Amino acid sequence: MTSFVRSILLATTTLASAATGIVPARADIMEPTATAAAATVAAEAPQESPSSVGTGASDRSGEIFVTARRRQESSQDVPVAISVVGGEHIDATGSFNVGRLQQLTPTLQFYSSNPRNTAVNIRGLGVPFGLTNDGIEQGVGIYVDDVYNSRVASATFDFLDVAQVEVLRGPQGTLYGKNTTAGAINITTNQPTFDFEGKAEVSLGNYNFKQAKAAISGPLSETVAARLAISTTDRRGTIYNVTTSQWIQSQDNLGLRGQLLWTPTETLDITLAGDFSAQDANCCGSVYVRTGATQRALNRQFEALAAAQGYAPVSRDPFDRRTDLDTPLQAENKIGGASLRVKWEVGPGTLTSITAWRFWDWDPSNDRDFTGLPIVSKSQNPSQQDQYTQELRYSYSSDTIDFVVGAFGFYQRIDTQGTEEHGAASSRWSIAPSNPLSNDPATLNGLVAYNTQYLKNTSAALYGQLSWHVTPELTLQPGVRLNYDKKEGFYQRRVFDAAGNEVLATRTPTALQAAQLAIFTPQEISPSFSDWNFSYDFTASYKVAPDVLVYATYAKSFKSGGINQNGVPLAQDNVTPLYDVATVKPESVYHYEAGLKTQFWDRKATFNLSIFRTDIKNYQANVNNGQFGVLRGYLANAGAVRSQGVEVDFSIRPSERFNAYANGAYTDATYRKFVDAPCPPELSGGTTAQVGQVPAAPGTPGLSPANCDISGERLPGISEWSFSFGAEANRPVSLLGREGEVYFGYDGSVRTNFSSNPSPSAYTWIDGYSLHNFRAGFRTEGGFDVYAWLRNAFDEDYFEQLFVGPGNTGLIAGLPGDPRTWGFTIKSNF
C-alpha cells in the first residue's frame, strides 16, 4: 500500500509541478513566505526588514512573526533566545526533519540510532544520552500546531506542509502545557484557507532518492475550509550489509495531514486536524569502527574472542560503509493522531481549547552485538503508546498588560513486549575460556528473555505569564507554574532456556544456571512516583531604542521525577532488585540569561546575542552496566550539571538580490558533580576493586573501579563550538518566456569534537567536522521553482554517533553520517 501511494503521489506531483510551471504567473498570488501571518503584515510594513535571525538565507519575506508567547508578535520583540526557520528554507536546504534542522541551529542537538533511541537537546540539556527510558520526561518539548508530542520519535518524521519552526532556548514552562526545562520546538503547519491554493514538489537524487510533497487548500462553503497535505520520501541505504546483501539505513517515509476549519462567526474558529505518518526503512545498523583495550583479561577482549571463532569484521575502515550484521533489521514506525482546536474571542481576549489524542506504534529488530556472529540472535522491544491531552488557555493583550493563563492535562499509556535471545556463538563469547561451559554452544544458544512492561503517566498543570508594560520601553514579565506528576510502572523479565524451562534467580545457582543468569536475570518490579512542583520565572526587558531590546531572565524550573522502566540493578545476592533506585528524583533547574536583540542599517541587518547559564541539581543520567542482558540501562541522579555559554545570531539583507546569515554558539556543558558514575570502557571489565585495592591503569587487565568520578567532564553530545552560516544571491532573468530570477545559495555548518558516551572515553570522542551544501536554480513570482542541490558537497567523512559494544570487550561501533548527495527539485505553487 505504501509503495502504491508513493508511486501515485510521485507521478501526480511531477505532472502538477511541470504543468503549473508553464502557466502564466498570476499577479494575485503572493510569493511564499516564512509564515502565513508574516505575509499579511509584511505587505503593510513601511519598509522591508531582514528575515529573523536563524531563518536562513532563502526566506525572502519581510519581518518574521512568531507565536512563542502564545500570541503573534515580531520575533525581535520577544525577550527569548529564539531561532526561526521558515518553510521555504526548510525545503531549500533539505531540512525535512528535526535531525537535519540542527545544521541550521547551532545549539540544537539531535542524536538517533533508531526512532525510539532518539534524543533532542538544546544547549546540551533535555534527555539523557543513550538508550531511551520511557520512565522520564523530555526536557525539550515538541509541539505541532499547539499539540504536545510526548515521544521524541516524532522528531524523526518528515516535516509535513510546515509554515515555520521556532526553536526556543531555555525553560519555557510558564507558557506551555508540559514543563520544558531546556526549551521547546514549536512547529506551525500551513492552515486551511478560504482562497483556493495548492503546491506540488518533486525531488530526485542519487542513492535512488525520491521525494514528493503536495498540498491543496480551499473553501467547502462560506464558513468551512479544508486543507490536505501528503509527502513521501524514499532513499536507498548508505551502508551495505554483506550478510544480507542489502543496503541499510534507508529512508521510507509516508505522511498525511488533513484539516477542516469552521468559522461559524467572526469570533469563533474551530479546527479539526488529523495526521498519520509511517516509516518502514531497512534500519537501523552500525559499522565496525575500532577496538580499545579494557580491563578484561586479554583472552576475553574483542580481538581474542573474535579470533577464537575465526571471525573478522568485514571492514576495519568504517567509511567503506560495509557491515556484516546477521540479525534481521527492522524499524517499522507509525505515529499519528487527531486534534480539535477551538479559538473563541471572549471579551477582550481569546480563549483557546486544544483537545488531542496521539499514538505511536514501534516494531523494531536490532543486532545488539554489533557483529556478524550469532551472539545476540534476537533483540526487539515492540511498543504501543497512546496519549491524551487537554489544554485550555486564555490570552489578553493591551497597551499596558498582556497575559496568558492556562490549564493542561496529560495522560499516557505505554505497553512494551520485549524478546531478547542469544545464539550459537554466545557461549564462547560470553563465558570465560577457563569455564568448560564456554566450549558448549548449547549453554547459551536459545536462551531467551521475555520482557513485559507498561507505564501509566499522568500530569496536570496550571500556568500563567504576565507582561506589564511599565513604560513603552520597560516590560516586566513574571510567570508561574504549578505541576502534578504521577507515574506507575511495571517491569517483568522471565528467562527460559532452549528447551523451554524457566530459569529462576537463586542465591546458590549451579554452574549452568550461573552462566545463564549472567546473561539474563529474572526480575519483577512495580515502581511508582508522584510529586507536586512549583516553578517560576521573571524577565525584565527594555527597549533602549526602537530597534534595540535588552532583556534578562531568571527561571526556577524542574523536570519531573521518573521511574526505571527498564529494570534496576541487583543486590550482591544477584537476586534482589535494588528497589531504592527504582525511582529517580526530579531535576531542579536554575536558569540565568541575558540578551540583546537589535536591528540596524535601516533594518537591513539583525544582530542578536544571548548569554546563559543553567545549573541543574539531581541531573537525570542514563547509565549502563556493560553487560548483554542483565540490564540494558537505568536512570540515576548525578549530583549536579551546568551548561553555560554564548550564542550569536546575525543576518543581513542589503537588497532583494542578496541575503546572508551566520549563527554561532559556545557551549560549556559539564558534570559539576558526578562521583559515582559508570566507568568508561578503558576502566571497565576487570574484577571490581574492593576498599583498599588499587584499580589497574586504563586499558590494563586487572582490577576495575566500582564507579568513576567524572566531575568536570563534558556532557555527551556537546560541541564546545558550533556554527551555521549561509547566503543566497539572485538576479532577474527571462527564461523560456517567463520572468523570474536565477539564484545561488549556500549553507554550511561546523562543529568541534564531542563525546559519544555518557562517561567520556578515549575511544568514543567524535572529531569535529564541517558540512557544506549548495543549490542553484530559477524561480518566478508565481511560485514556480526548479533547482539543483548538492549536500555534504566535499564528501566529509564523519560520525553521528559511536556505540560501546556490550560486555566490555572493547568493541566500538558507529553510525557514519550521510555521504555526498545530489539531486534536483521542481515545485510550484498555484
pLDDT, tens digit (0-9, with 9 covering 90-100), for 598-633: 999 999 999 999 999 999 999 998 765 544 444 456
Compute the distance between CA of residue 754 and CA of residue 801 in angstroms, rounded to an integer: 10
* pLDDT greater than 90 at residue 580: no
Give the model's pLDDT for residue 21.
45
6: confidence class by pLDDT, cuts 50, 70, 90: low
Question: Which element (helix H / strand E) includes 492?
Answer: strand 474-496
**What single letter denotes the amino acid at residue 597?**
K
Q: Could you tell me which residues come within 8 angstroms of residue 461 by beta carbon, excluding any fewer than 6 positions away?
A: 177, 178, 179, 407, 408, 481, 482, 483, 484
Q: Could you tell me which residues come within 8 angstroms of residue 83 by beta carbon, excluding any fewer than 6 positions away?
A: 53, 54, 55, 104, 105, 108, 166, 167, 169, 649, 663
Among the four given CATH numbers 3.40.50.970, 2.40.170.20, 2.10.10.90, 3.20.20.140, the one describing domain 2-829: 2.40.170.20
Give the model's pLDDT for residue 637.
87
Of the given ranges (16-30, 548-562, 677-691, 796-810), which has the lowest mean pLDDT?
Answer: 16-30
Q: Which three cell numbers stand for residue 829?
A: 505553487
**Angle of CA points 43, 46, 47, to nearest 5°:** 90
Most confident of 140-149, 181-190, 319-328: 319-328
235: confidence class by pLDDT, cuts 50, 70, 90: very high
Give the model's pLDDT for residue 131.
66
* pLDDT greater than 70 at residue 3: no
Half-sphere exposure of 216 (CA within 13 A, CB side): 6
DSSP letter string over 628-658? Answer: SSS-S-EEEEEEEEEEEEEEEEEEEEEETTE
- Biggest distance spanned by C-alpha atoms of the chain: 87
Tell me which residue of 776, 773, 771, 772 sits closest to 824, measured CA to CA: 776
Name the phi and psi angles at 490, rounded to 5: -145, 135
Is-contact 679 707, C-beta < 8 A? yes
7: confidence class by pLDDT, cuts 50, 70, 90: low
416: confidence class by pLDDT, cuts 50, 70, 90: very high
Of the given ranges (32-36, 794-798, 826-830), which has the lowest mean pLDDT?
Answer: 32-36
CB atoms within 10 A of CB 765: 16
**Which of the 8 DSSP states describes residue 677?**
B
Compute the distance between CA of residue 691 and CA of residue 687 in angstroms, rounded to an integer: 13
Give the model's pLDDT for residue 27.
31
Is-contact 173 557, C-beta < 8 A? yes
Q: How far is CA 717 from CA 267, 463, 617, 756, in A?
A: 47, 32, 20, 6
Q: Which three cell numbers stand for residue 411?
A: 495522560
Give the model's pLDDT for residue 256.
97
Taken as a whole, the chain contains a residue count of 830
Compute the distance between CA of residue 293 and CA of residue 298 in angstroms, rounded to an integer: 9
Residue 382, beta-bridge partner list: none
Tell me which residue of 130, 111, 101, 124 sits closest to 181, measured CA to CA: 124
Q: Could you tell me which residues come within 8 angstroms of residue 90 by beta carbon, excluding any fewer than 6 positions away?
A: 96, 101, 159, 162, 165
Residue 686, beta-bridge partner list: none
Compute the distance between CA of residue 440 and CA of residue 497 in angstroms, rounded to an integer: 14
**Which of the 8 DSSP states describes residue 64?**
-
Give the model's pLDDT for residue 232.
96
Q: Which three cell numbers stand for residue 704?
A: 576495575
Compute the distance between CA of residue 125 and CA of residue 623 in angstroms, rounded to an integer: 16
Pairing of the two strands 658-673 and 634-655: antiparallel
Is-contact 293 195, C-beta < 8 A? no
Of the given ranges (38-52, 81-95, 237-251, 511-525), which has the lowest mean pLDDT?
Answer: 38-52
Average pLDDT, the chain: 89
- Give the ranges where 357-458 is alpha helix by DSSP (H): 426-430
* pLDDT greater than 60 at residue 335: yes
Pairing of the two strands 140-144 and 183-189: parallel
* pLDDT greater than 50 at residue 825: yes
Of the given ranges (128-142, 400-414, 503-517), which has the lowest mean pLDDT?
Answer: 128-142
Compute the distance between CA of residue 67 and CA of residue 36 in angstroms, rounded to an integer: 12
Give the model's pLDDT for residue 65.
82
Give the model's pLDDT for residue 568.
86
Is-contact 145 156, C-beta < 8 A? no
Compute the distance between CA of residue 722 and CA of residue 630 in angstroms, rounded to an integer: 38
Q: How far is CA 96 from CA 31, 99, 348, 697, 767, in A?
A: 21, 8, 39, 46, 25
545: region left, alpha or beta (phi > 0 left; psi from -120 to 50 alpha): beta
Query: Among positive and negative, which fits the CA dihedral 363, 367, 372, 374?
Result: negative
The model's pTM:
0.90
Give the model's pLDDT for residue 52.
38
Instruction: Specify burial of residue 266 (Cβ count, 10 A radius: 0-12, 13-18, 19+).
Output: exposed
Instruction: Specify burial of residue 18 (Cβ count, 10 A radius: 0-12, 13-18, 19+).
Output: middle
Compute the distance between CA of residue 658 and CA of residue 730 in angstroms, rounded to an integer: 7
* pLDDT greater than 70 at residue 719: yes
**What single letter denotes the amino acid at residue 157?**
F
Instruction: Specify burial of residue 425 (Cβ count, 10 A radius: 0-12, 13-18, 19+).
Output: buried
Pairing of the two strands 401-422 and 448-469: antiparallel
Compute the distance between CA of residue 109 and CA of residue 118 in angstroms, rounded to an integer: 11
State how far Cα 376 lies from the chain centre: 28
**What single letter denotes the amino acid at residue 132?**
T
List the domain boundaries for the chain: 2-829
Of the given ranges (150-164, 500-514, 591-605), which has the lowest mean pLDDT?
Answer: 150-164
Percent over 90 (pLDDT), the chain: 74
Compute the distance between CA of residue 792 and CA of residue 508 in angstroms, rounded to an integer: 58
CB atoms within 10 A of CB 298: 10
Pairing of the two strands 209-219 and 268-281: unpaired
